[in-house]
Amino acid sequence: MSETTASQPEKVKAKPKVEKPPAIEELPFDEFINTHYVPALTKAFTKQGIADLQLEFSNSQVHGVWDRGLRQFTVYFSKPDINGQKAFSCADAGRSPSTIEPFLIDERKAPLDLLVFGVIQRLTAQKWLAAN
């Protein structure tokens, strides 16, 4: 071993940086809604005793119908962005909604749990869920 090699400091190999997968809320809008939001809503309704919920996602809207089609709600996204402006409507007896209300307007970010909770909270206020 030569003197120059012995006196040179050993190079420390840097560990490769492990990239974290993006948070589910950072996924593309359609993927987030179809893969996470719709299943989470279904699960939340099931916990409330609603077994016949039918959810549909199209045109930046999530529309739910249950109770043999007598009750319905829609969550409207103004653009394909879960943190953008949102609105909510609901109707019963098979009628069309008469009012569209702002939805989660005070929140800067809309994580999955909050988006689900907002729907359950609104419908609980209507006294439409089994928990009432």
Give the pLDDT confidence of 93-129 residue by residue, as tens digits. 878 887 899 999 887 888 999 999 999 999 999 888 8
Domain total of the chain: 1
For 103, half-sphere exposure in the C-beta direction (CA atoms, 13 angstrom radius) is: 30
* Whole-number Å distance between alpha carbons of 73 and 115: 13
Q: Which pLDDT tens digit goes with each residue over 17-68?
A: 777 777 888 889 999 999 999 999 999 999 999 989 999 999 999 999 999 8
The strand pairing partners of 124, in sequence order, are: none
Residue 101 lies inside a defined structural domain of this protein:
yes
What is the CA 21 to chain-centroid distance, rounded?
17
* Any domain includes 84: yes
Is residue 16 domain-resident?
Answer: no
Closest CA to 47 of 132, 130, 124: 130
Is 113 domain-assigned? Answer: yes
CB 72 within 8 A of CB 90: yes
In a domain, 41, yes or no: yes
Residue 20 placed within a domain:
no
**SS3 state of residue 64:** strand
Of all helices (H) and strands (E), which one includes residue 75?
strand 71-77
Domain span at residue 107 reads 25-125
Determine, yes or no, domain membership for 80: yes
Distance CA 117, CA 28 (A): 21
Within a domain: 99: yes
